[in-house]
Amino acid sequence: EYKKPIGINIDLETGVIPGAKKLVRRLSDLKGYFLDEDAYNELLKDDPVVYEVYAVEQEEKEGDLNFATTVLYPGKVGKEFFFTKGHFHSKADRAEIYYGIKGKGGMLLQTPEGEAEWIPMGPGTVVYVPPYWAHRTVNTGDEPFIFLAVYPADAGHDYGSIKDKGFSKIVIEENGEVKVVDNPRWKE
């Protein structure tokens, strides 16, 4: 009745976890997420892969843990860097740990009241996502940004409010610089 322990090597170059469940998110899966709709529609002709997730997940039970790598590709829609959808956990008080493996980027975090934080990430960066904070990763570099996430098996994903309202900050490139600025479309 005890589960078998798992020891597995992540391919640090590609982010692949052997035997993991693979999820692919293309640009067409991110409709309505980016500010520049003309740039979005132009890029949609190629419908590039924005990110892939390799997840090892358990039954949704309290006390157990899931882990997953994400491979977030480089790119921009207009000025905005490619990002993951971003979510609260369905059980909103479930925390999470991220660990940077390869490439360059960061995490946008946000409270339910819309207070945002930006944490730059690179290989070796640990990010603690406290209970109740929504989280989205952003690739600000020119190679895939790869990281590991470890999260409670019963956390779940609540995409709804981020899909509707986004984050109060956006991450853009302006004059060759990475800038974290107020989201002009954000409403309280």
Binding site for ligand 6PG (CB under 6 A): 53, 68, 70, 84-87, 96, 135, 137, 149, 151, 155, 157
Q: Quick one: what does residue 70 bind among ligand 6PG, Ni ion, none, with the CB cut-off 5 to 8 Å set by partner type?
A: ligand 6PG
CA distance 64 to 168: 32
Q: Give residue number: closest CB to Ni ion.
A: 96
Q: Quick one: what does residue 86 bind among ligand 6PG, Ni ion, none, with the CB cut-off 5 to 8 Å set by partner type?
A: ligand 6PG
**Number of Cβ atoms within 10 Å of the Cβ of 56:** 15
Shortest Cβ distance from residue 53 to Ni ion (Å)? 11
Q: Which is nearer to Ni ion, 97 or 180 (CB)?
A: 97
Shortest Cβ distance from residue 68 to Ni ion (Å)? 9
- CB-based burial, 31-48: b 16+ in 10 Å, e otherwise: eebbbeeeebeebeeeee
Q: Contact 75/82 with Cβ under 8 angstroms?
A: yes
Shortest Cβ distance from residue 129 to Ni ion (Å)? 7
Give the interface with Ni ion as residue ranges (CB under 5 A). 96
> How far, in Å, are 28, 121, 136 from residue 11 at the CA level?
27, 19, 23
Q: Contact 62/156 with Cβ under 8 angstroms?
A: no
Q: Which is nearer to ligand 6PG, 1 or 59 (CB)?
A: 59
Q: Quick one: what does residue 106 bind among ligand 6PG, Ni ion, none, with the CB cut-off 5 to 8 Å set by partner type?
A: none
Shortest Cβ distance from residue 77 to ligand 6PG (Å)? 16
Helix, strand or coil for residue 24?
strand
